[in-house]
Copies of this chain bind each other. A is one copy, B any other.
Amino acid sequence: QTVESDERALLNVDEGIRFSKDSLFQMNLRFRMQNRAGFNSIYDGENLGVEQFEMRVRRLRLRFDGYVLSPKFQYYIQLAFSKADLDLETGDIAQPVRDAILYYTINKNLYLGFGQSKLPGNRERVISSGNLQFADRSIANSLFTLDRDFGLFGYYTLRTRSQSIFLLKGAISSGDGRNASAVNNGLSYTGRIEALPFGVFRNSGDYSEGDLEFEPLPKLSVGITLSENQKAIRTGGQLGAELFQARTLNSLIVDAMFKYQGWALMSEYMSRSTKDPITTNEVGDVRFVIVGKGVNTHVSRMIGPKSELALRYAFVVPDKSIDMYLERVDESLIGFTHYLNGHRIKIQANLGYRWLEGLYQIENSGNSWTGMFQVEFGI
């Protein structure tokens, strides 16, 4: 089973439906959905009861990968249809297009992309939502990810005489996120370098959570991303509500993935800064850039050929300049996953605890427990 990449068209897959005509044409058609049922239990100062049931289709995707004319001209299109996928949980503009990008392969080490796709940002975001080991990405990702954008992308693989490999990735993009309208003349610049000192992971495991491949030898990938988003107009750059005035945002991301014999360790640090994060309108309403930092760490171990136990600890610390609006949040999760067919068909159970302002005692108002059962099903 080939691990899907969100930075490349997926040409060789066993699953899925493939149409092809010699070297002139190929299309792989795939779908996947994530159905879930869970609860949130928020301590209201007196009781700890189930506050909400969350039962829904979290993701429903159609994906088309392939090439036309020649394998050099590749495309990758992903459409999304669930309410959360369409951005309709938080916004009011339906956004079915997740990815729509063309790739031109210059040589075996270099290819360019033009279109909408994920920026080379934090690892947990770039890992496809189909390759996660928890039902949702972390709170650090929610606040500080670079997410998707439209622009020009470049990917270069630098091979060395040893087994070490370096990946260089860059993008010049609109900076305003998915399906943005033209707003101003500010662009976003993103650069990333990844080092794989012990060589490539089996089956693209550096972009898949959990060591399902049981790497016989230790494998490590370390990545650093720098991003400057000029004249950004959303609270998180590519994501979030609209600001009242534009700001230039700077992000630093450092992350790593390590795998060995069923063990996997993933960690990422993200920070965002700007001059004067607070924007106001004429009547005094405030909207602010989410500045500060976040850390997310996963440790997991395969406890059987198809079963895995995973732990997450993540936290976000808003910068002092906005701490009257946003609190520190910590979260801790334990997850069990049974992989019936790799990441394509899996059953997941998560139990988590989230606390505010660093006060982990259950008596603190606003602290919450969450439990989630999710089935991922796709081809």
Contact = CB atoms under 8 A, between A and B. Distances in A.
A151 interface: yes
Contacts of A81: 79, 96-97
Contacts of A345: 68-69, 73
A106 interface: no
A53 B174 contact: yes
Interface stretch (A56-64, A245-253, A356-364): A56-64
A57 B17 contact: no
A56 B377 contact: no
A182 B378 CA distance: 24
A354 to B, nearest CB: 15
Interface string A100-127: 1110000000000011100000000000
Given A52-B183, A68-B341, A102-B375, 12 more contacts: A31-B64, A31-B77, A33-B75, A33-B100, A35-B115, A39-B185, A51-B185, A56-B182, A57-B97, A68-B377, A69-B345, A73-B340
Interface residues of A, number: 68
A101 B378 CA distance: 12
A339 to B, nearest CB: 12
Nearest first, the 10 A-B pairs at minimum CB distance are A54-B182, A83-B179, A55-B174, A94-B94, A52-B182, A35-B115, A57-B100, A81-B96, A50-B185, A55-B150
A46 interface: no
A40 B181 CA distance: 13
Interface of A: 15, 17, 19, 25, 27, 31, 33, 35, 37, 39-40, 49-57, 60, 64, 68-69, 73, 75, 77, 79, 81-83, 86, 88-89, 92-97, 100-102, 114-116, 150-152, 173-174, 179-187, 340-341, 344-345, 375, 377-379
Given A60-B77, A77-B60, A82-B179, A185 B52 contact: yes
A16 to B, nearest CB: 9
A254 B75 CA distance: 39
A139 to B, nearest CB: 17
Given A55-B174, A185-B50, A340-B69, A83 B89 contact: no
**Main secondary structure on A side of the interface with B:** strand
Contacts of A181: 56, 83, 89
Contact of A377 (B35, B73, B92, B95): B73
A247 to B, nearest CB: 17
B185 A49 contact: yes
Nearest to A24: B15
A184 B55 CA distance: 11
Nearest to A50: B185
A295 to B, nearest CB: 27
B83 A33 contact: no
Given A53-B174, A114-B375, A88 B82 contact: no
